[in-house]
Amino acid sequence: MIWSFLKMSETWLSLGKHFEPSGHHAYTLEKSAAYSCMAEESRRLFELVGGRWPAEGETLFDYIRHLCMKQQRSVIFQYQDHVYNCCLHRLFGEKYL
């Protein structure tokens, strides 16, 4: 959700570059700012409930894998149009702990 809000903010900002200063330009800036605020509020709420992000240089896949291994949980994820519901411990084995 946070990523979606950030992407929409960037999109509206990019659209605004195609207009001369006018009502259309102001509208795109307003929408960009609104989505940016939604992203910040979502990030704040996510952190409030204990949400975290991958470390710098860590892929989302590796982050989820380590988190699930640590908590010994199964995970449902989508990769290249396939949905997987698996125990990551069985999928990756001990050598990836």
Task: Quickly list H helices, 17-95.
Answer: 23-48, 60-71, 88-92
Residue 25 lies in a domain: yes
Range of the domain at 92: 60-96
Q: How many domains does the chain have?
A: 2
What per-residue confidence (pLDDT) applies to 71? 67
- The chain-wide mean pLDDT, for the chain, equals 77
Structural tokens at position 36: 């940016």
Residue 54 lies in a domain: no
Residues 7 and 38 in one domain: yes
- State how far Cα 57 lies from the chain centre: 15
Secondary structure class of 96 (helix, strand, coil): helix
Q: What percent of the chain has pLDDT over 90?
A: 30
Digit-coded pLDDT (tens) for 55-92: 889 888 888 777 777 766 555 555 555 555 554 444 44
In which residue are the tokens 């929408």 written? 31
Domain assignment of residue 23, yes or no: yes
E strand or H helix at 84: strand 82-87
User: Residue 7 above 90 pLDDT?
Assistant: yes
Residue 84 maps to a domain: yes
